[in-house]
Structure formats: C-alpha cells, structure tokens
Amino acid sequence: MDTVAPLLLAVRELRFSMGLGENVAHSLEGFVAVAPVNELTDSLRVLHSSHHRGLETLPEMTGSTLRRLFYQTLWSGLNGSPIYQRLCDLEVEIHAETIRQLDAFVQRLPFLGLLPLFGCFLPAVLLVLLGPLFVDLISQMGEIR
C-alpha cells in the first residue's frame, strides 16, 4: 500500500492543478515543492529537471507498472501532449490497485491474528496436556533401572 498511496496522491494533485488551468510543468513544480520527500517526489524532480535540461527521451525510471506509466504520461505532457484524460484514467487504475492491495491485506489478517495464539498459547496447552504424560514416563523409566 505504501507504494501506491503516494502515487495516487500525486496523480490527484496534478489532475486537480491541471483542472484549474495550469500546464503540466507548472503543476509538477507546484506538487514537488509541497509534497513530502520520498522516492516518488525524487523521481519527479529528476523527470522535471531532465525535461528542463532539454533531454529528448524519458530517463530510466524504476518502480511498478503504474508508476512507470505515470512517468511516461507526465513526460508526454511535458512535451506538449494533452494528458488530463490519461491522468483521470490512471487515477481510476491506481485506485483499483489500491483496493486490490487492501483486500489482499485484509484477507491475510485472520492468519496474522492467529500467530500470537500459536506462539504463546500452544506451548502452554501442550505442556498442560502432555506434561503429566512425560512425568509418568520419566517416573516409569526410573523404576525400570
């Protein structure tokens, strides 16, 4: 989830800023200026500075498929292509991915809740149930000698 949430925030902020009439470069500068420093904002700074220096190709960016699609969308927007609708579509995809990741986490919660039970209570139950058996076994072995 922590990889999708900053991306969703970035897409929403850029889409909102562009909806108010700002161009891609100005929207990106504004977002990077106020966004918390993380891997995404560092990559966006690199993307913006690469465009500012006049590079013709998108710098190599790492991350999930959605993140790379976001970088490609921004790069084409910085080069003059209209990207508002693509940002809207990307936001829907990112939101769906967030829901999928959240569902997967929620499905694992019952198992994660049982781990303390197995780690703490199971040894105590085994000791109570099997302890008398071991005591009898040890006492019988002492009688045999």
Q: Are 92 and 39 in contact (CB under 8 A)?
A: no
Say if residue 3's pLDDT is above 80: no
58 by DSSP, 3-state: which?
A: coil
110-132: per-residue pLDDT in tens? 988 888 888 888 888 888 999 89
pTM of the model: 0.71
